Amino acid sequence: MRTRICWFLIGFFACLILGVIFFHIRYRPVDITENMGPEIGSMFEEFVPWSRSAKGLQAGRFHVWTPADSESAGAWIMHGERVYPQVFIRDSDADGIPDCVTVMDSKWKFVTVFDSDEDGIFDSHGYKTEGILDSVTFVDGNMDGTYDTRFVLVGRKDSTTVEVNIDGSWHELIRSDGKTYVRIDGQLKNVRGKNGVWDFCGE
Ligand SMILES: [Ca+2]
Ligand SMILES: [Ca+2]
C-alpha cells in the first residue's frame, strides 16, 4: 500500500512539473518580428511597441497576441485559417482606453480610428494604401471626410515625406527651427496644425 502511494505521488508531481514546463514553453514571451526582416520588423515595432516580447494564445479559430509585459497594453488578433483581416488594438499608456484600432487586409491596406486625446471618443481616422515600403497613409484629422495629412513612403522606411492639405491643395511639409512651413511659388510660408487640420499662420 505504501509503495502504491509513493508511486502515485511520484506520478502526480512528475505530471505537475511537466505541465508547468509545457505551460512555460508554450506561453513564453516571443519576438513576433523575428522573421520579418530588420526594416519591416522595426516598422512593425513602431506600430506594435511590445512586439519584441509578446504572448500568443489560441481562442477557438482566432489567434491573439498580447504584451508579455504587464506595463504595456494592446492586442493583435487574427483568424487562424484566413489570417486576414487582422485587428490591432493599441493602448500606449495602458490606462484601459485604446488610442487606436486598426483593421488590416492581406495587401497591408488598413484603416485606423484614433482617439488622440483619449477621452473615449474616436476623433480622427487614417487609411493606408496597398504595400509595405511603397504606400501612402492618409489621415483625416478632424473626421470631416477630407484628408488633412498624408505620409508618402517610397521604398525605404526613412524616405517618408509628410504632406499637408491646405485649402484643397497638397504641400510638402518642411520643418525648420521648430516651425513648420510649405513652399508656394518658391517662397516658404509658415503653417500650423491645429486639431488635426492645417492652415497658414496669421489667417
Ligand atoms: Ca490609453
Ligand atoms: Ca479633415
Whether residues 140 and 98 share a domain: the answer is: no
Ligand 1 geometric centre to CA of 121 (Å): 12
Ligand 1 geometric centre to CA of 127 (Å): 21
Domain count, the chain: 2
9-18, 42-51, 72-81: segment of lowest average pLDDT: 9-18
Q: pLDDT class for 200, splitting at 50, 70, 90? A: very high
Whether residues 127 and 172 share a domain: the answer is: yes
Q: pLDDT class for 40, splitting at 50, 70, 90? A: confident
Residue 24 in any domain: the answer is no
Judged by its nearest atom, the ligand closest to the C-alpha of residue 89 is 1
Whether residues 127 and 203 share a domain: the answer is: yes
Judged by its nearest atom, the ligand closest to the C-alpha of residue 145 is 2
Residue 180 in any domain: the answer is yes
Ligand 2 geometric centre to CA of 165 (Å): 9
Q: Note the helical H segments in the chain.
A: 2-26, 38-47
Ligand 2 geometric centre to CA of 44 (Å): 26
Whether residues 142 and 95 share a domain: the answer is: no
Binning the chain into helix, strand and coil, the percentages to the nearest 5 are 20, 40, 40
Residue 66 in any domain: the answer is yes
Whether residues 53 and 85 share a domain: the answer is: yes
Residue 189 in any domain: the answer is yes
Select, from the ranges 50-54, 77-81, 154-158, the one with the highest average predicted confidence (pLDDT): 50-54
Ligand 2 geometric centre to CA of 43 (Å): 26
Ligand 2 geometric centre to CA of 111 (Å): 15
Residue 7 in any domain: the answer is no
Structural domain boundaries, residue 49? 29-106
Last residue of a domain, one of 82, 106, 130: 106
Cis peptide before 85 (omega within 30 of 0): yes
The Cα 67–Cα 10 span in angstroms is 36
Last residue of a domain, one of 106, 129, 147: 106
Ligand 2 geometric centre to CA of 148 (Å): 5
pLDDT of residue 13: 65
- pLDDT digits over 68-120, tens only? 987 889 999 998 777 889 999 999 888 889 999 999 999 999 999 999 888 98
Ligand 1 geometric centre to CA of 96 (Å): 6
pLDDT of residue 43: 83
Last residue of a domain, one of 46, 74, 106: 106
Ligand 2 geometric centre to CA of 73 (Å): 29
Beta-carbon contacts of 12 under 8 Å, excluding residues fewer than 6 positions away, are: none
Residue 114 in any domain: the answer is no
Judged by its nearest atom, the ligand closest to the C-alpha of residue 199 is 2
Residue 18 in any domain: the answer is no
Residue 200 in any domain: the answer is yes
Whether residues 64 and 35 share a domain: the answer is: yes
**23-47 mean pLDDT:** 81
The Cα 44–Cα 32 span in angstroms is 9
Q: pLDDT class for 27, splitting at 50, 70, 90? A: low
Whether residues 127 and 198 share a domain: the answer is: yes
